[in-house]
Amino acid sequence: MPAEFDPVTIPFIGTSLETDVADADLVVFGAPHGTPYRDIDNNPFSGAPDALRGALEEDARWLDHWDFDLGGPLLGDGKFSVADAGNLRTSPLDGDGNRHLIRQATTQIINSGAVPLMIGGDDSTPIPFIEALEPHDPITIIQIDAHIDWRDERRGEPMGFSSTMRRASEMDHVENIIQVGIRGVGSARRAEVEFAGDWGAKIVTAREFHQDGVDAVLKHVKSDANCMITLDCDALDCGIMPAVMAPTPGGLSYTQSIDLIDAVTKKSKLVAFDMIEFVPERDSDGTAAITAARILANVLGCLARR
């Protein structure tokens, strides 16, 4: 059965509600909930897909205008078609069901020949998203995040947001994991850091990225790699991204983020992208939503020029 989505009234900038998923080059969809932990509420992230759609509603009127991030209109010559499928009908407490919906939707999009772009949701939503990328075997994961997420389990749950990269490392189609922007108390104990290193993960700390720029990442990426990028909003510096649960100083800037996305799309093949962990209620004036949504718009623009 095809994945079922709740329709939205405001499509993401550059997308169309009329474009059939089967005909699009890229499909945006929301995944409001992932796998919950006992006594930890995953609802603060659930409004992120619609908040980021709404952030650029006004800009969507000017798709023919020059975008100086991209050197031309957002979608280039206009031959790149983008659909907004809406939001998956996830439920806060139904981890098994939510993972099934995300896998099903992602598989459906990939089978149509499109690039899936998922807006979460907490940092457990990428687990089934990455699982569904098996047709692109082998893949390189570029995780942009403040935290490495290599816990085997937390509170008895192995599929939650602290275990995303640990679960990804167990998937046969995942060849390479590059973790960018790691800093502060990076959700890891010594054992997790050592396990990640033993597996072969390349950890590019925020300090290293600030010093060496995108080259600190690209040196780990094969030119013919199938890459997916998962971007946790707490990867961004808390001065520009307060709308997260774990704000941490020293993160990436907006320009560093879009430069990295641009560099990856030029060196390799970007086959999937997700953005997660945006907390609308912590965005007091709406500027954090504009920042996050503009990063997503750059993904569309870079892929339209590929």
In tens, the pLDDT along 163-182 reads 999 999 999 999 999 999 99
Element (H, E) at 120: strand 115-120
Measured between alpha carbons, how far is 83 from 174 in angstroms, rounded to an integer? 27
Q: Single out the residue of 130, 122, 116, 133 nearest to residue 95, CA to CA.
A: 122
Give the angle subtended at the CA of 208 by the CAs of 202 and 209, to the nearest 5°: 90
Torsion sign over Cα 303, 289, 3, 150: positive
Strands (DSSP E) found in 132-267:
139-144, 174-182, 202-205, 226-232
In tens, the pLDDT along 282-305 reads 999 999 999 999 999 999 999 999
Query: Could you tell me how far CA 107 lies from the centroid of its own chain?
Result: 16
* Helix, strand and coil in the chain, % to nearest 5: 35, 20, 45
Which amino acid, residue 4? E
Measured between alpha carbons, how far is 286 from 53 in angstroms, rounded to an integer? 12
In tens, the pLDDT along 73-130 reads 999 998 999 999 999 999 999 999 999 999 999 999 999 999 999 999 999 999 999 9
Q: Is 259 helix (H, G, I), strand (E, B) or coil?
A: helix
Number of helical H runs and strand E runs in the chain: 9, 9
Q: Do the Cβ atoms of 273 and 295 come closer than 8 Å?
A: no
In tens, the pLDDT along 42-71 reads 999 999 999 999 999 999 999 999 999 999
Domain limits of the chain?
5-304
In terms of phi and psi (left: phi > 0; alpha: psi -120 to 50; beta: otherwise), the region of 277 is left
Q: Where does the pLDDT of residue 186 fall: very low under 50, low under 70, confident under 90, or very high at 90 and above? A: confident
pLDDT for residue 2 is more than 80: no
Measured between alpha carbons, how far is 174 from 171 in angstroms, rounded to an integer? 6
Q: Where does the pLDDT of residue 39 fall: very low under 50, low under 70, confident under 90, or very high at 90 and above? A: confident
Q: What is the pLDDT of residue 240?
A: 98
Measured between alpha carbons, how far is 19 from 289 in angstroms, rounded to an integer? 25
Measured between alpha carbons, how far is 218 from 214 in angstroms, rounded to an integer? 6
CA distances from 86 to 32, 42, 171 (A): 11, 20, 28
pLDDT for residue 219 is more than 70: yes
pLDDT for residue 245 is more than 60: yes
pLDDT for residue 1 is more than 70: no
Measured between alpha carbons, how far is 229 from 274 in angstroms, rounded to an integer? 6
Please name the residues in contact with 274: beta carbons below 8 A apart, sequence gap of 6 or more.
Answer: 117, 118, 119, 120, 125, 126, 129, 228, 229, 230, 231
CATH code for the part of the protein at 5-304: 3.40.800.10
Average pLDDT along the chain:
96
Element (H, E) at 215: helix 215-218
Neighbours of 41 (CB within 10 A): 11
Q: Quote the percentage of the chain above a pLDDT of 70.
A: 100
Q: Where does the pLDDT of residue 18 fall: very low under 50, low under 70, confident under 90, or very high at 90 and above? A: confident
Q: What is the pLDDT of residue 105?
A: 97
Please name the residues in contact with 294: beta carbons below 8 A apart, sequence gap of 6 or more.
Answer: 56, 69, 254, 258
Q: What is the pLDDT of residue 187?
A: 77
pLDDT for residue 197 is more than 90: yes
Strands (DSSP E) found in 221-302:
226-232, 269-276
Average pLDDT of the segment spanning 266-286: 98
Q: Where does the pLDDT of residue 135 fall: very low under 50, low under 70, confident under 90, or very high at 90 and above? A: very high
Q: What is the pLDDT of residue 151?
A: 96
User: In 57-149, where does DSSP find H-type helix?
Assistant: 95-111, 126-131
Measured between alpha carbons, how far is 43 from 94 in angstroms, rounded to an integer? 12
Q: What is the pLDDT of residue 303?
A: 98
